[in-house]
Amino acid sequence: MIRQTVYTFSLRSVKILLLFLTGMLLVSGLLFTCYSLDMETQLVLFQWDNLLITLPGTALLGAVIYAVIQVSGNTLPAVRRLLRLVVLCWCMIFGIILILFSKSVPTSDSYSVYQIACQLAAGDTSVIHPTQSYLSYYPQQTGLVAFLEPLIRIWNLFPFHMPAYHFIKLIYLLAGCVIIFFQEQTVHLLWKDAKADCLYLVLAGLNFPLLIYMSFIYGEIPSFAAISVGFYLLTRLLTDENSQAPQAPETTLSNRYFAAYHRFLTAAGSLFFFTLSVMLRKNSLIFIIAAVIVMALRGFSHRRPAMILLAALCMACSLAILPCIQKFYEYRSGSTISSGVPAISYFAMGMQESSRADGWYNGFNFDTYQNAGMNTETATAISREAIRKRLAHFQENPGYAVRFYMNKYLSQWVDGTYACRQATMATFGGRKPFFVSLYEGNGSKYLIFYCNLYQNILYLGTFWFCLASFRQGRKPTPACSAEYSYNAELPAYLGLIGMLGGFLFHMLWEANARYIFPYGLAMLPCCARGLSLLSDSLSNKFLRERSPRNNKSRRPDATDKPATAK
């Protein structure tokens, strides 16, 4: 009894927190827009939205999406498969157009990681150094280097005189398609809702930040592709276990062995892809923690020690993968990599002002570590003192503290572009005029406006999903109790629990709208389901309103028989 009580209380708490958070995101998205126009300073601008424009625009975009799914939402599976193929082909075509005509190149951190991978692929291990190496400041990037290096080696086998990042962009396009495919499969696995399946595909195809980020050579796209596969496999593991009936006595031993072997492969696959996601991007640990929470609750409440063991393995492998890769490169080069900038420096920087927006990067973490002689203990002490001073300043000026964290929140969560233009603005020259306008001209304003409307749809669908699930948890009905039982909801909340953790983390950590991009992707499945529920709710309400009116306006027919008294 205590096990189910703990589980129920935990899930109920998550529902309440997510309902509050998604409601706050929806209101913020409708009222504000944050964006950057100057691509040199990248100053984040804050703007109140005109609801007379934003609300009709959001409604119009929603109507377009609804019109598309009306065509394919309740048709044969073959039509939905065709829609999936169309969306995936559209993403590939758009991505290739970006590669050919946008001509973006790696820059800043992505350029440093790419160059290190190129040098290692050429056999130059001098980039592994305790002091004179980018990796000694940011050793967590060794995982991404280990991913890019073999791709560059493969490219170097061909007689092409082009940089390897063109080939890597094609790999990222495939990774983007992996995201769409496995998230759509997850939506289908969770709810068996054809309308939600089609809604997800349409939303994914209209997600321009996703399409643009596919040409960004960094960890976001491949890492989230691994998370999408891991979430799908874990969801399948949980739903298969939930629907598994007791074995009949006549069940053959070979069938039992095959079922157990299938569950083992599914669990091993989720473990592998979760570990891969952290290798590619360390902040993916937030999603892994969400998965571990779900597995631990499920294992504890249902007396499944294997599930608890899987949760422990996921956590252990995710924490061990980057140190292991670092040791591999140290062994290969015969040199060492320093421990890097301490995490507390990022928290200190997240409390400071920046030329771009409050809490954004201002160089404090790098400068502190460098000025401390790359001594982690000294840098940690300096960062703690900086935190103490900022806390004292916030206490003396509470109004300033509220404005600071409000700006930090808005600059990350109401930028519908997720800073995709800033991340991919660098070019090697020859960018076509259309894309120049998209980055720095009038085209950027249309992109910002569209992405703002799209984000409103995203927040609306996710909020409605949380609201419907919260109401259903309070008043279960026989028709929907299977869909909304506590067991079925566990995998449905994987991405949203990660989003909740990301919100809390990035309110403390260094801020950037780009860091929120994976959480926007994580909301898409629940958004699709929420929009499906919302459309059903509106349709039912419309029918209920019409039915009494039709009955009242109906005239007696000659065939109507008068009521007889008993």
pLDDT, mean of residues 454-468: 96
Structure token pair of residue 507: 């309110």
Structure token pair of residue 537: 């709710």
Distance CA 445, CA 99 (A): 22
Distance CA 310, CA 185 (A): 22
Q: pLDDT band for 125, please (50, 70, 90 cuts).
A: very high
Distance CA 7, CA 124 (A): 53
Give yes or no for residue 241 having a pLDDT over 80.
no
The helix (H) or strand (E) run that includes residue 46 is strand 45-48
Q: Is 533 a domain residue?
A: yes
pLDDT, mean of residues 303-331: 95
Q: Is 564 a domain residue?
A: no
Instruction: Kindly report, residue by residue over 5-36, the tens digit of the pLDDT.
Output: 888 888 889 999 999 999 999 999 999 999 99
What is the structure's pLDDT at 485?
Answer: 42
Give yes or no for residue 252 having a pLDDT over 80.
no
Axis-axis angle for helices 165-191, 194-205 (nearest 10):
160
What is the structure's pLDDT at 563?
Answer: 45
Distance CA 317, CA 278 (A): 9
Q: pLDDT band for 190, please (50, 70, 90 cuts).
A: very high
Instruction: Kindly report, residue by residue over 30-72, the tens digit of the pLDDT.
Output: 999 999 988 888 899 999 999 999 999 999 998 888 887 776 5
- This prediction's pTM: 0.92
Strands (E), 303-346: none
Query: Poorest-confidence range of 162-171, 415-424, 438-447, 467-476?
Result: 467-476
pLDDT, mean of residues 173-183: 97
Q: pLDDT band for 487, please (50, 70, 90 cuts).
A: very low
Cβ neighbours, 10 Å, residue 510: 21
Short-list 27, 5, 9, 10, CA closest to 497: 10
Instruction: Kindly report, residue by residue over 72-98, the tens digit of the pLDDT.
Output: 555 678 888 899 999 999 999 999 999
Give yes or no for residue 178 having a pLDDT over 50.
yes
Give yes or no for residue 554 having a pLDDT over 70.
no
Cβ neighbours, 10 Å, residue 464: 22
Computed over every residue of the chain, the mean pLDDT equals 89
CA 61 from centroid of its chain's CA atoms: 22
DSSP string of 237-254?
HHHHHHHPPPPPTT--HH
Domain containing 129 equals 2-243+263-541
Rg over alpha carbons for the chain, rounded to the nearest Å, is 26
> What percent of the chain has a predicted confidence (pLDDT) above 90?
70
**Which DSSP symbol is given to 511?**
B
What is the structure's pLDDT at 428?
Answer: 83
End-to-end Cα separation, the chain, in angstroms: 53
pLDDT, mean of residues 262-270: 93
Q: Is 549 a domain residue?
A: no
Give yes or no for residue 544 having a pLDDT over 90.
no
Distance CA 556, CA 150 (A): 80
Query: Poorest-confidence range of 115-129, 253-267, 312-326?
Result: 253-267
Instruction: Kindly report, residue by residue over 333-361, the tens digit of the pLDDT.
Output: 999 999 999 999 999 999 999 999 999 99
Q: pLDDT band for 549, please (50, 70, 90 cuts).
A: low
Short-list 528, 516, 513, CA closest to 458: 528
**Which DSSP symbol is given to 33?**
E
Give yes or no for residue 187 having a pLDDT over 50.
yes
Give yes or no for residue 503 having a pLDDT over 90.
yes
- Residue given tokens 């377009």 in the structure block: 64
What is the structure's pLDDT at 80?
Answer: 85
pLDDT, mean of residues 382-390: 96
Strand partners, 46: 34
Distance CA 341, CA 137 (A): 5
**501-508: long-range contacts at Cβ-Cβ below 8 A with a sequence spacing of 24 or more?**
501/286, 501/287, 501/289, 501/290, 502/283, 502/286, 503/21, 503/413, 505/283, 505/286, 506/412, 507/350, 507/405, 507/408, 507/409, 508/347, 508/350
Q: Are 236 and 215 in contact (CB under 8 A)?
A: no
Q: Cα separations (Å) of 316 from 275, 299, 501? A: 9, 17, 19
Q: Is 302 a domain residue?
A: yes
Report CA torsion sign: 203, 209, 211, 216: negative
Query: Poorest-confidence range of 163-167, 168-172, 180-184, 484-488?
Result: 484-488
Q: Are 500 and 19 in contact (CB under 8 A)?
A: no
Q: Is 553 a domain residue?
A: no
Q: Are 472 and 484 in contact (CB under 8 A)?
A: yes
Q: pLDDT band for 381, please (50, 70, 90 cuts).
A: very high
Instruction: Kindly report, residue by residue over 411-421, the tens digit of the pLDDT.
Output: 999 999 999 99
Q: pLDDT band for 479, please (50, 70, 90 cuts).
A: very low
Instruction: Kindly report, residue by residue over 126-139, the tens digit of the pLDDT.
Output: 999 998 899 999 99
What is the structure's pLDDT at 302?
Answer: 81
Q: Are 512 and 412 in contact (CB under 8 A)?
A: yes
Q: Is 565 a domain residue?
A: no
Distance CA 422, CA 419 (A): 5
Half-sphere exposure of 227 (CA within 13 A, CB side): 32
Strand partners, 33: 47
Q: Is 256 a domain residue?
A: no
What is the structure's pLDDT at 508?
Answer: 95
| Polymer length of the chain | 566
Axis-axis angle for helices 142-156, 305-333 (nearest 10):
60
**Which DSSP symbol is given to 49?**
-
Q: Is 249 a domain residue?
A: no
Q: pLDDT band for 526, please (50, 70, 90 cuts).
A: very high
What is the structure's pLDDT at 38?
Answer: 85
Number of domains present in the structure of the chain: 1
